[in-house]
Structure 1
Amino acid sequence: MESNNLSRNDETDNDAKDSCANLKKSIPLINELFHVHCKIGKGTFSSVYLATLKSSNSPVHKKYALKHLIPTCHPDRIERELQCLQQMGGKDHIVGVELCLRNQGSIVFVMPYMRHDKFSEYVKDMTVEELKDYMRALLSAVRRVHQFNIIHRDVKPSNFLYDRTNKKYLLVDFGLAQQCSEYNAENLETMIGINERKTEIQSMKRKRSENLSFQSNSNITRNNVDSKCYCFGKPKVCVLCLTKPSQTAPRAGTPGFRAPEVLLKYPSQTLAIDIWACGVMMLCILSGTQVFFRSPDDCTALAEITTIFGSHKVQKCAQKLGKKVIFSENLPGIDIMSLCLKLRKRNKSMMHDRENSTCKVLPNSQYPMEAYHLLRKLLDLDYKTRITADQALSHPFLSS
């Protein structure tokens, strides 16, 4: 067993060395400017490396995070991320960019590095004051992003770095960021409704023409034209539904942190999806749970949300978005404060059982009612009434 573990470690070290070598090879200027030490992060669209300047005369070398984007990234995506870092970075706990290097299809963002703790190390034992500071920093960063009418789209613990010792915070990774639509929800709904109605009328005209050619019974033609969709909930799809255009909606984001309007594929998504993600992070802390929603797909994610809020509220939310959700049974929902207290007690008990008497004694944090009130505002199913970042910062829990 020991030899197997050693071989795995050797393979990991070799992969890390090869990765650093490939980075230097893809952009030769990096080797001239930086000492690249190791890979510190990897995502779907990029890898991040720790580096220091070669020419620095200071005894304490400043550390940098080199974000190497995969060559297949779309140019618009790269440009949008770079603009976000340049325009809003460096203030209100948002990462900035100091240099951008490019060689052919390879691009690297050079950003200041910040040491940070893992979410799993502090999610279970945050004090009330620490939670306040954490949420103030997170919502301040999100508020600044929203002031530029930008949706971050990937707010989550691993993208909000926290240095617990020095009380520093940093919102990173704008790879999925996008400009909020210039059309509000009502306008877009009207446009979609008009387009769908036009398509429906056109399909009816085509169908009438076909029926006139192949059928002599005019009553059948009239019934087909005036017919409504009755395939809903049945194992078939009617002609009217087949002729409607498919509805597309942005789905970018991390599973477990997607807002209801994203899960329901609502096309007009707003800044409020970042607020929902902030709420999920606060829910993790209040419940002492590292990953609260463990959904592998959107349907499961919607089911998990339903177990908390109840089927009636989720159906009401879907109805406001022009969607319809059917459940096999009615779920009443549960009180979110009671749930958090129960989970925190269970997690604390599990830690004692696992480590016996040598385990770390967790602080007996009794979060006030205002904390759970803010949580409910952040996790409002209706994106139109969901609290904004600015309003959240003025909430009694954070303003006191």
Structure 2
Amino acid sequence: MEIDDIHRKDKTDNDEKDSCANLKKSIPLLKELFHIHYKVGEGTFSSVFLATLKSSNKHSHKKFALKHLIPTCHPERIERELQCLQQMGGKDHIVSIDLCLRNHGSVVFVMPYMRHDKFSEYVKDMTAEEAKDYMKALLTAVRRVHQFNIIHRDLKPSNFLYNRTNRKYLLVDFGLAQQCTEYNVKNLKKVTDEEKQKTEIQSMKRKRSNENNLSFQLNSNTAKNNTDNKCNCFEKPKVCTLCLTKPQQTAPRAGTPGFRAPEVLLKHPSQTSAIDIWACGVMMLCILSGTQVFFRSPDDCTALAEITTIFGSHKVQQCAEKLGKKIIFSENLPGIDIMSLCLKLRKRNRSMTHDRENSICKVPNIEYPKEAYQLLNKLLDLNYETRITAEQALSHPFLSS
């Protein structure tokens, strides 16, 4: 081991000790109840530690995961996650909660710990039977979440733990979960009409105000264009006054890049449990293609571009139109057969592994039935209204046979 590696290891060990010490300091009762060993995970809003009870039998040593939420977490978010764990946890592969501790601004959830494998260690060599069991467990957990009218909003491999040896699964992290609020088309149209009417009233007021302004009289031609109901900046490198007066559209966009559904990327206000189904589809796409991270998008625009390369520009434009949006592409891109794409990527991964190791390829040549790709297409339906549900997916021939 080189000197730099030794220093790096020492620094990591010191950081681990500091993290455990800070956790005990934030909630003193923890050091009375648990042996806190080390940090096993860290996210944007929390850190997870491995712990065992001090009073437990020496031969049992039941392990617990202590999820320490950052002090800046909103109380409503903490309450919502706690309610999810209490109401849904403990059944259908959903993590349960044993205890919740709070001291001033610090909150810790005490949950059962399950040893799990990394997604990168099994995604390239899952057999058809193993992939079937994995997706069945995932969709079973998602079905239970949706039965409570809840959207998980952050489904991804690191939040669906898998113990490959014991074939155990656990859906975790409900920090971004939200109540599902579905708007009907009439209400959406009503909101749109009200916003349009409000914009027209604001434009008329601005026109009357500007007519009394001397400076406006010197620029009457410009003002006439700005108060016109027709947008003048479409496809131009500028933003007209009419567009600036429109209320900014806001829509939930929580989730991890690469797993966000089209309706999230397009900022559609009516987001349903279908966004979880899309994330399940991306996870299945990773498995069938043998690719650890399929979409590597750093932002929403790039994410839409990546989706377009698979489904084609025409289908993405149709999807956007149904959501009241418009997308313009510099060129028309054809769609790709998803089964052919997965087979090509899996073949590429095998050849890359073979070349790198310069020996017998360790990635097996696995064949999945056509029913698997049929289910994948239904999970990755661009239209959230026709996208398959978790209940329907579990009845699909690939999972029910």
Answer yes or no: same fold by TM over 0.5.
yes
Task: Provide the residue aligned with 1:372 in structure 2.
Answer: 373
Q: Aligned ranges for residues 136-215 of structure 1 at < 5 Å?
A: 136-181=136-181, 183-214=182-213
Q: Which amino acid aligns with 1:101?
A: L
2:282 is the alignment partner of 1:280: yes
Q: Does the 8 Å contact 1:99/1:109 carry over to 2?
A: yes
Task: Provide the residue aligned with 1:397 in structure 2.
Answer: 398
Whole-angstrom distance in 2 between the partners of 1:196 and 1:245: 7
Task: Provide the residue aligned with 1:267 in structure 2.
Answer: 269
Instruction: Out of 157-166 and 224-233, give the one that drifted further.
Output: 224-233
Task: Provide the residue aligned with 1:48 in structure 2.
Answer: 48
- Shift of the alpha carbon at 1:195? 2.7
Q: Unaligned regions of 5+ residues in structure 2, if any?
A: none
Q: Does the 8 Å contact 1:260/1:302 carry over to 2?
A: yes
Q: Aligned ranges for residues 242-257 of structure 1 at < 5 Å?
A: 242-257=244-259
Whole-angstrom distance in 2 between the partners of 1:91 and 1:268: 29
What SS class does the counterpart of residue 357 from structure 1 fall into? coil
Q: Deviations over 1:354-380 (max 9, x none)?
A: 2222552x3332111110000000000
Task: Provide the residue aligned with 2:307 in structure 1.
Answer: 305
Q: Does the 8 Å contact 2:226/2:240 carry over to 1?
A: no
Whole-angstrom distance in 1 between the partners of 2:348 and 2:37: 41
Q: Which amino acid aligns with 2:191?
A: I
Task: Provide the residue aligned with 2:348 in structure 1.
Answer: 346
- Gap change, CA 1:155 and 1:188, over 3 Å in 2: farther
- Shift of the alpha carbon at 1:316? 0.7
Say how many residue pairs are matched: 397
What SS class does the counterpart of residue 278 from structure 1 fall into? helix
Whole-angstrom distance in 2 between the partners of 1:58 and 1:2: 38
Task: Provide the residue aligned with 1:5 in structure 2.
Answer: 5
Task: Provide the residue aligned with 1:355 in structure 2.
Answer: 357
Q: Deviations over 1:228-261 (max 9, x none)?
A: 1131111111121111100011111000000011
- Gap change, CA 1:224 and 1:109, over 3 Å in 2: closer
Q: Deviations over 1:10-35 (max 9, x none)?
A: 00000000000000010000000000
- Shift of the alpha carbon at 1:57? 2.1
1:231 to 213, 216, 233: 233
Q: Does the 8 Å contact 1:229/1:238 carry over to 2?
A: yes
- Gap change, CA 1:48 and 1:206, over 3 Å in 2: same
2:292 is the alignment partner of 1:293: no
Q: What is the identity percentage for the equivalent residue pairs of Structure 1 and Structure 2?
A: 77
Q: Does the 8 Å contact 1:188/1:268 carry over to 2?
A: no
Q: Which amino acid aligns with 1:259?
A: A
Instruction: Out of 340-349 and 188-197, give the one that drifted further.
Output: 188-197
Q: Which amino acid aligns with 2:183?
A: N
Q: Which amino acid aligns with 1:51?
A: A
Instruction: Out of 200-209 and 30-39, give the one that drifted further.
Output: 200-209
What SS class does the counterpart of residue 359 from structure 2 fall into? helix
Q: Which amino acid aligns with 1:184?
A: Y
Cα RMSD between the aligned structures? 1.7
Q: Deviations over 1:78-106 (max 9, x none)?
A: 00000000000000000010000000000
Give TM-score scaled by structure 1 length: 0.96
Whole-angstrom distance in 2 between the partners of 1:264 and 1:374: 24
